[in-house]
Amino acid sequence: MEERTKIKFYSGTRTIGGTVISIEYRDERIILDFGLTVTAIGNIMKDIKSDYVRKYLDLGILPKIDGFYSEKDISDKVNIKPLEKSRKKTKVFISHIHLDHMHHIGLVDKSIDVYMSKESLELYNLLNNIGDKVIGDRGYSTISYDETIKFGDINITAFKVDHDIFGAVSYLVKTPDLTAVYSGDLRLNGNHSEWTFNMLEKVSKFKVNVLFLESTNVGSIIKDISCNKDKELQNAEKALIPKIIEEIKDEKATVFFNIYNRNIDRIIAFYEVAKKLGRKLVLELPTAYIASKLLGIKDFYVIEEKELNTNNEVIEVYNNSNKLSLDELSEGGCQYIIENSFSNILSLLDIKYEKAIYIHSNGMPLGDYDSNYNGMRDFLNRLCIEYKYIGASGHATPCDLKFIAEKIKADWFIPIHGFYPENLHVDSGIRFLPEEGKAYAFKDKSVDII
């Protein structure tokens, strides 16, 4: 019987997040990403304190993958083959460390290697120090940019791309009968578009059979996508700085901002805004720690803490930082630009202001698909704080997705990681919308369900 590469989509085909894809050839298998899908049950899950794998499998939170979980973690409710009784050898490859791509990696059995880029692991370790941990405790391996790891008959190569986080990669996967590209999350209009263009130049030299391409920014309405890549791309990240300055130039306004502290470019943007306006930048301690370690930034303020229960490195950054009390922020609020993440939003009740603006710049909650979003808007409205969204997506525009797909020229084009993948049309390859839980084998212009 002819050996064929099998591809299976466990989740993330029609959601923003939760991407889990397996590619297997003979007894070797790789899993691409192992993230979290936002669901209504999410808040309940926070109260689970033990036996995570078993309980998450019972609830359908973790994908039911044969030969992936230890027998002790599988209950009678779940019909999957345990790792100990499977011939499959598995490695997991993470494209970047946003939670929707890696939230469950700590639950992967310790006998299975989990890879990410060196920069991703560096940021991951910093996040651990500030208490922003995933569930589970295990070690991780790294893959360098442009490095190829050979795993049986599967070869996996990582290429650096631009996304709104440190260390993002796309993967090229080669087996004896198939070449696939997994985009991960990427964009062409950020501060480092050259990284994504470089990836495209390299992978387009291969005869790619299957392209898994994110489709986050594809909307509910089908649009005619026409674009000219000969024109200079607008840098959406750099364009944020004058937009923010224009919105907060009122010298009497106290300004709060909400970012995702994994977004290093956005920390830099607000640092530059503060400098240009002559205001002092006030960071929450976790962000201050990341800015200090990754960017070498020191000239910021942190909010005074009565008690610190955190990592010694984080305490050292706090001790060496300029500090402000909530009373001092109330007295001179218009002198500052103050970080306020959603988890700390109640602190706004203790800060006095005549006029206040809240800049929501891709911090959590991201949008109205998160139940906390409307709560945040209502809370700010009750405090008479003006809400302004000023952000830039970490994801490619539909025009750029079309360009990426047509540059790679895969035989099969599979849009995933979006609510409306069926609305992305490109002039290259056969578009295929897979069903989750089914395994496929692709060959030339045909696809079989296995």
pTM above threshold 0.85: yes
Report yes or no on 338 lying in a domain: yes
Burial letters 5-35, b for 16+ CB under 10 A, else e: bbbbbbbbbbbbbbbbbbbbbbebbbbbbbb
Report yes or no on 169 lying in a domain: yes
Residues 376 and 408 in one domain: no
| Rounded mean pLDDT, 415-430 | 94
Q: What is the spatial distance between Cα 3 and Cα 15, in angstroms, rounded to a whole number?
A: 32
Structure confidence at residue 305 (pLDDT) = 87
Structure confidence at residue 2 (pLDDT) = 77
Structure confidence at residue 254 (pLDDT) = 94
Q: Which residue has the higher pLDDT, 256 or 443?
A: 256
Structure confidence at residue 43 (pLDDT) = 61
Residues 179 and 33 in one domain: yes
Residues 82 and 64 in one domain: yes
Structure confidence at residue 342 (pLDDT) = 96
Structure confidence at residue 250 (pLDDT) = 74
Residue 392 CB coordination number (10 Å): 23
3-state helix, strand, coil in the chain (%, to 5): 30, 25, 45
Residues 80 and 189 in one domain: yes
Distance between start and end Cα atoms, the chain: 13
**Residues 289 and 126 sit within 8 Å (Cβ to Cβ):** yes
Burial letters 232-259, b for 16+ CB under 10 A, else e: eeeebbeebbebbeeebeeeebbbbbbb
Bond before 415 cis per omega within 30 degrees: no
Report yes or no on 243 lying in a domain: no
Q: Which residue has the higher pLDDT, 321 or 43?
A: 321
Structure confidence at residue 307 (pLDDT) = 84
Residue 320, classed as helix, strand or coil, is coil
Domain assignment of residue 444, given as a range: 6-45+56-227+394-449
Structure confidence at residue 66 (pLDDT) = 96
Residues 125 and 261 in one domain: no
Report yes or no on 239 lying in a domain: no
Q: Which of 389, 417, 433 is the last residue of a domain?
A: 389
pLDDT band at 228 (very low <50, low <70, confident <90, very high): low
Residues 437 and 335 in one domain: no
Structure confidence at residue 40 (pLDDT) = 65
pLDDT band at 322 (very low <50, low <70, confident <90, very high): very high
Report yes or no on 330 lying in a domain: yes
Residues 436 and 374 in one domain: no
| Rounded mean pLDDT, 290-312 | 91
Structure confidence at residue 222 (pLDDT) = 72
Q: Which of 368, 389, 410 is the last residue of a domain?
A: 389
Structure confidence at residue 225 (pLDDT) = 64
Torsion angles phi and psi, residue 140, rounded to 5: -135, 155
Residues 297 and 412 in one domain: no
Structure confidence at residue 251 (pLDDT) = 77
Report yes or no on 351 lying in a domain: yes
What's the number of domains the chain is made of?
2
| Rounded mean pLDDT, 113-141 | 95
pLDDT band at 85 (very low <50, low <70, confident <90, very high): very high
Residue 149 has pLDDT above 90, yes or no: yes
Q: Across the chain, how many H-helices and E-strands are there?
A: 12, 22
Q: What are the pLDDT digits (tens) for 175-214?
A: 999 999 999 999 999 999 999 999 999 999 999 999 999 9
Residues 208 and 170 in one domain: yes
CATH number for the domain that contains residue 220: 3.60.15.10
Residues 102 and 214 in one domain: yes
For the ranges 81-95, 310-324, 364-378, 402-416, the lowest mean pLDDT is seen at 364-378
CATH number for the domain that contains residue 305: 3.40.50.10710
DSSP 359: E
Report yes or no on 1 lying in a domain: no
Residues 266 and 400 in one domain: no
Share of the chain above pLDDT 70, in %: 95
**Residues 386 and 358 sit within 8 Å (Cβ to Cβ):** yes
Among 103, 79, 76, which residue's Cα sits nearest to residue 92?
A: 103
Element (H, E) at 100: helix 99-102
Report yes or no on 236 lying in a domain: no
Q: Over the chain, what is the mean pLDDT?
A: 93
Residues 325 and 419 in one domain: no
